[in-house]
Amino acid sequence: MEKNTLRYSGIVFLAGASYGAQATTVKITYAAGFTWTQVVASQALFAALLFAVALLVQRARGKRLVPLSLKQTIALLALGLNTCIGTVLYNYALTLLPVSVAITLLFQFTWMGIVVQLVVMRRRPRAAEAAAAAVILGGTLMASGMFSESVGALDPVGIACGLLSAVSCTFFMFFSSRVGRGMPSVQRGLVVCLGACALGFALCPDYFASGVLQDGIWKFGLVLGLCALFVPVALFGIATPHLTPGLAAIMASSELPCGIALSALVLGEPVEGLQVAGVVAILAGIVISQLPHLGRRSP
């Protein structure tokens, strides 16, 4: 068994599952009266604070910081900027589209990751990866509920934002395997989130003056910062250098099953039989992607 591949695949699976809380939390935050720009800024701020606290704890335990060159710092800040751009696009899409449609568009990163692998790395996907991506895409369409009659007409701007958020997510996973490689995950994550904060506060310059923190957005920001930035940024930084972009994208598809489960449990949204079948298909696709790594021994 290729233990390392399975282990790092599992880490990406957990990172994707953590993302599953984003759509539900964002919808709850909107219902509480906050705007998408305030949500974006809150997510970046609290993720940066979580990384800062984690770094202080590590420093108190005697762990030293790794010196960063200007080039490394700029690259990590740019990665954070890209992450925030994806968050902006996805959160804005959620204001224009049903959750099911927005998340389906976001999930196009599954095949986009394989395209990046093919074009940039000039590496053809394994048969298992291609088959897994096809199964997951089919499962995504079923699980999303976008075939429901209640979906109605779709906003073209929302569709464009959803697809562009998938592109941003693809770039994030690809460059996570290359930028800051070998750095401590907490220190790396803090710099990435500072890049996200730069755009977040540029979009919401009156964030602190507006009183949203006193109004309670911190509760939602803490959840979003933890689940949609802190955990994924840390885990992707650990695992993606050891996986192909295609396999990383496939494993991150755990987001949709977790998102559906949370929306049903927290928001009380009904889950249809077709959606359950779609979740099963997604999980089956993830298993298919791991078949080449089962029964082998590491050299």
pLDDT digits (tens, 9 = 90+) for 270-281: 777 887 888 888
* C-alpha torsion 67→69→74→79, nearest 10: -50
Confidence of residue 297 (pLDDT cuts 50, 70, 90): very low
Instruction: Report the chain's terminal Cα–Cα distance, integer Å.
Output: 10
**pLDDT reading at 267 higher than 50:** yes
Q: Both tokens of residue 12? A: 């990406």
**pLDDT reading at 128 higher than 50:** yes
Question: Residue 69 CA to chain centroid, in angstroms?
Answer: 27
CA dihedral sign, ordered 243, 118, 257, 222? positive
Q: How is the chain split among helix, strand and coil, in percent rounded to 5? A: 75, 0, 25
Q: What's the confidence (pLDDT) of residue 147?
A: 63
For 165-189, how does the pLDDT look when each residue is reduced to its tens digit (9 = 90+)?
A: 999 988 988 888 888 777 888 999 9
What is residue 178's three-state secondary structure? coil
Domain-by-domain residue ranges, the chain?
1-295
CA dihedral sign, ordered 172, 47, 14, 22? negative
Mean pLDDT of the chain: 85
What is residue 152's three-state secondary structure? coil
The alpha carbons of the chain give a radius of gyration, in whole angstroms, of: 19
- Average pLDDT rounded to a whole number, residues 118-136: 80
Question: Residue 97 CA to chain centroid, in angstroms?
Answer: 19
Cα–Cα distance for residue pair 21/224, rounded to 1 Å: 8
Q: What's the confidence (pLDDT) of residue 150?
A: 54
For 192-226, how does the pLDDT look when each residue is reduced to its tens digit (9 = 90+)?
A: 999 999 999 999 999 999 999 999 999 999 999 99
Predicted model pTM: 0.82
What is residue 205's three-state secondary structure? coil
**pLDDT reading at 1 higher than 50:** no
Question: Which residues have CB under 8 Å from 152's CB, separation 6+?
Answer: none
Q: Both tokens of residue 4? A: 């390392």
Higher pLDDT, 124 or 210: 210
Question: Which residues have CB under 8 Å from 266's CB, separation 6+?
Answer: 24, 28
Q: Which range has highest mean pLDDT (50-59, 86-95, 182-191)?
A: 50-59
Q: Check: CB of residue 129 under 8 Å from CB of residue 246.
A: yes
